[in-house]
A and B are shown apart, each in its own frame.
Chain A
Amino acid sequence: MSVEPWQKAEIAGPIKAVPIKDPKALATIIKKYKKPIIIVGHLISKVEGMDLVEYIIDLAKTIDADVVVTNTLIRKFHERGFKRATYMPALEIIDRLRDPLWRGIHGDGNYDLAIFIGFQYYYEWLLLSSLKHFAYERLDTISLGPYFQPNAKWTVPTLPLNTWYKYLTDLKDSLTKSLRCKPREKNV
């Protein structure tokens, strides 16, 4: 479980992510937010050990999040009846998220948490960097991929794939349990 950038030379500046080793702790963090969005990159299609589309749909339902899919996987989300997923290129969603006046995908308000999963390491590194500098007052970020991402506010540490799958499962279980016991204000 490494807590340094996966690509060694991609060293962030003075502000760097806090790695959250315990999925329950990450669940506790996530449930504090009222309006999360999950941003899904194309690499989840290359993950073979887990059905990540299904996972993200479940996660989104659990935490009442909008989902932006930045690639052709949007078809799979729609095929599974999850119409809440929207296609938007990654750079466009970042551009919107940095705008304090933007009203969100469905026009019901901007987000307070962006959860990233499924991107090339360097590409996500830069997307998160933009939000770190230009949206930090309103928006926090979590990197849910299997690599430590220094420009997120919180990140999963670098994990072997099998450990990562377990981490994700435990995270969702924790969220499901805790939100069932104590629904978020928004879900009531």
Chain B
Amino acid sequence: MTIPTKRFRVRIDELRSSLAHIKGLEVSIGKIVEEWEEPEGPTPFPSVTDLRDWDFKLLRRYRPLYIPFCDLCCLCTFGKCDLSRNKRGACGLDIATQQSRIVLLACCIGAATHTSHARELVEELIKKYGRDVPMDLGTGIRVEAPHMRLVCGIKPKTLGDLEAALDYIESQIVQMLAAIHTGQEGSNLDFESKVFHIGMLDHVAMEIADIAQIIALGFPKGDPEAPLVDLGIGTIDLTKPVILCIGHNVIPSTAIIDYLERTGLSDSVQVCGLCCTAHDMTRYNKRARIIGPISWQLRFIRTGIPDVIVLDEQCIRTDIPSEAKKIGAVVISTSTKNCLGFPDKTHEDPDVIVDELVNGKIPGALILDHEKVGEVAVKAALKLAPKRVKFKSLPNVDEVIKYSKMCRKCRECERACPNNLPISQALSKAAQGDLSELAKLYDYCIACTRCEKACPVGIPIFSLISKASERKMKEEVFKIRAGRGPIQDVEIRNVGRDIVLGTIPGVIAFVGCANYAEGGRELVEMCEEFLRRNYIVVASGCAAMTIAMYRNEEGKTLYEEYPGEFNAGCLVNVGSCVANSHISGAVIKIANIFARRALRANYKEIADYILNRVGAVGIAWGAMSQKAAAIAAGFWRLGVPVIVGPHGSKYRRMLLGRKDRDEDWYVYDARTGEKVYVGPVPEHLFYAAETKEEAMVMAAKLCMRPNDTPKGRAIKLTHYIDLYRKFFGTLPPDLHLFVRTEADIPITVKEEVLKFLKERGWKERPTPLEPTLLEELVKRRVSA
């Protein structure tokens, strides 16, 4: 692999000449390679094939299960090819390969989105603060960029150093996209390997994005006591003009906050956000408010509260301009990726833009100068708010009843609803003046408004649901811990041993979007279950917001109830989507900081370590986007299993192990070279659960690893048995596969388990001292 910035490199250990005495010089064209005492590992800036053998080891154990979402391929002018039942298309592709190809396409979109976000942030921050902003993530964080170190083999020292890794990622994304073209890759497993590759790169890109904004914008630096900030529609001060920011790129929002501070208007205007931009706004300034996750976009806009809506990038509803028009709000678009057909006002005088927006002369403005966005948004909000009082309400109850009476009971709304909600029944009751059934839908509705588009008589169904739930919305006043960013090295040192030996039962990460099949409460219930069981619980993105949206009997959210350290029984909010890289970064750091495995360009060894020793599982219960697919793929290549909710089945491919195939579950003991059966741990790599109970039991099971000590395995089995019994009423039927010796059996159920094991003909089996899938580690170890 040629590295974008290092096409030619010379290393001189020592050179004496009549002119000079040179020692330890390393030079490459375009860049001086930084000094780093750690020797470079085998795969710096890996190409897709450099780690293919590792991918194939994973794919031999975790075989893809394809659940095709479409029987056809319609990407070329051969037309629609019928791929059903193993027919091949005009280009020769079969349906399995087509599914893996689409998975790769989704992951490329996801990784490109994060990379583009990272690039924009780095460029913008360099422009504002210079290339030399030091890579200072606080005194507790010395391994500042675990992904960059691991994948690229470079250790960034300044903001400017992040660009080399971005160059590399962009070149790889182009290659992966090229592989999707008709008549390129023809093997489903090679597509899957490329999916893993793009996932790995995605985590590097996310890491770059987040550490860039942390070091340049003063976000919390791995602070377990990051402030508790406000979340919910009810936290908005309705007496002030309201600016709503939606998206993921925080730069325009920071410009608004800065402008307010510069002009002394911070107390006069309310700034709030939706989706990941909101997370990052509160990391920048704790006065900002989070409205909620992605599915709160229309909920909030239809209340009429926002005066100005500022859009940046990613996960933004594309109908925001028309929704804003209905409530008389104005829209400013700030990203080249999301121009929305608006006139480009980047070089226009701010007061002229404000006048055009406020007086409806333009439908919205594209402004690519973020400083100008700050000024225009604030001035427009101040001018517009007094004129918009009449818009700040939902339909009244009489209107709800009137609309409900229009319903023909055709159920087209239900046929369009992703969650098949009983909308007709609720409208029927509402027509009689009873809005309670409509209000019940609020908790389960993901606010996609497909129901409205399907309604043949044009009932604004979602607005009616919102009106019926108005009280509930106003009571949305919660606390969330602001995203703290990375996990500190000292925290890793404190818990690394317990995670690897299994005495902390696992790390459960709740990540992803808000496409929940049965409402967000399920996510909170799962989160609380694992917190009570002393798992380390980590959260990010929309999932982290959902977790904040329910209170216990004392009126506290889980963030108020549980500390924010990376430790057993604690709840860590790392931050926005791009902060997911700190979750995977933490598992990498366990291998590096606790186990002292070399990090630099040493991907396979670290991933092998994580797969066999670090009991971490991701749960993306409402995963929706292509970014979520790419994030999951990055976890897979590292050997971290991911569970998605039922809607996640639409990612169309799972990676499942087969516990009934003993031959799949052998590893090497690196100390002896022997092959040892370790049982199905972890059993799956990617899995869509049907119910929350299934997900919880599966998560507890997937935390088991070959390296667990007897004590650690007993703790993990305690939770697996207890959760299984709680939901299914018996001992887990596959329990014998996870008990290696009697010492693994939890003492509280020892007799019962021994009886069960006897019935199964169970026998004790050896446990490897150093489990690995990598032959090269055996050789190294044995020869040593």
Contacts and interface: CB of A to CB of B under 8 A. Distances in A.
Contacts of B650: 122, 126
Contacts of B82: 13-14
Given A13-B72, A71-B693, A98 B65 contact: yes
Contacts of B698: 89
B416 interface: yes
B690 A119 contact: yes
Contacts of A121: 420
Contacts of B70: 13
Contacts of A13: 70-72, 82-84
Contacts of A95: 65, 654, 656, 658
B65 A130 contact: yes
A86 B660 CA distance: 15
A172 interface: no
Interface residues of A, number: 39
Nearest to A5: B415
Contacts of B66: 130, 133-134
B737 to A, nearest CB: 13
Nearest to B420: A121
Nearest to A14: B82
B728 A75 contact: yes
A1 to B, nearest CB: 14
A12 interface: yes
B449 to A, nearest CB: 14
B405 interface: no
Given A72-B691, A132-B85, A122 B418 contact: yes
Interface string B645-689: 011011010101010100000000000000000000000000111
A70 B694 contact: yes
A94 interface: yes
Contacts of A92: 656
Considering residues B71, B517, B688, B689, which has the most beta carbons from chain A within 10 angstroms of its beta carbon?
Answer: B71
A74 B189 CA distance: 36
B728 A90 contact: no
A109 B504 CA distance: 41
B729 A78 contact: yes
B614 to A, nearest CB: 24
A87 interface: yes
Contacts of A89: 687, 689-690, 694, 698
Nearest to A160: B411
Contact of B691 (A6, A7, A42, A133): A42
Considering residues A12, A126, A134, which has the most beta carbons from chain B within 10 angstroms of its beta carbon?
Answer: A126
Contacts of B86: 133
A44 interface: no
Nearest to A130: B67
B68 interface: yes
A91 interface: yes
B455 to A, nearest CB: 13
Given A89-B690, A120-B690, A14 B71 contact: yes
A91 B415 contact: no
B709 to A, nearest CB: 28
Interface string A61-100: 0000000001110110010000000110111101110100
Contacts of B454: 8
Nearest to A74: B728
**B contact patch SS:** mixed
A14 B95 CA distance: 13
A132 B420 contact: no
B730 interface: yes
Given A75-B729, A126-B69, A133 B85 contact: yes
A130 B68 CA distance: 6
Interface string B715-757: 0000000000001111001000000000000000000000000
Given A14-B82, A15-B84, A120-B690, A7 B415 contact: yes
Contact of A123 (B95, B646, B652): B646
Interface in B52-85: 65-72, 82-85
Contact of B415 (A6, A75, A119, A130): A6
Nearest to A79: B729
A72 B728 contact: yes
Contacts of B517: 120
Nearest to A89: B694
B654 to A, nearest CB: 6
Nearest to A127: B67
Contact of A133 (B71, B416, B646, B729): B71
A132 B86 CA distance: 10
Interface string A1-23: 00000111100111100000000
Given A8-B416, A13-B84, A95-B65, 16 more contacts: A14-B71, A15-B84, A72-B691, A72-B728, A87-B733, A89-B694, A91-B649, A94-B65, A94-B67, A95-B656, A96-B660, A120-B690, A123-B646, A126-B69, A127-B649, A133-B86
Interface of A: 6-9, 12-15, 41-42, 70-72, 74-75, 78, 86-87, 89-92, 94-96, 98, 119-123, 126-127, 129-130, 132-134, 136
5 contacts: A8-B412, A13-B70, A75-B728, A78-B729, A122-B649
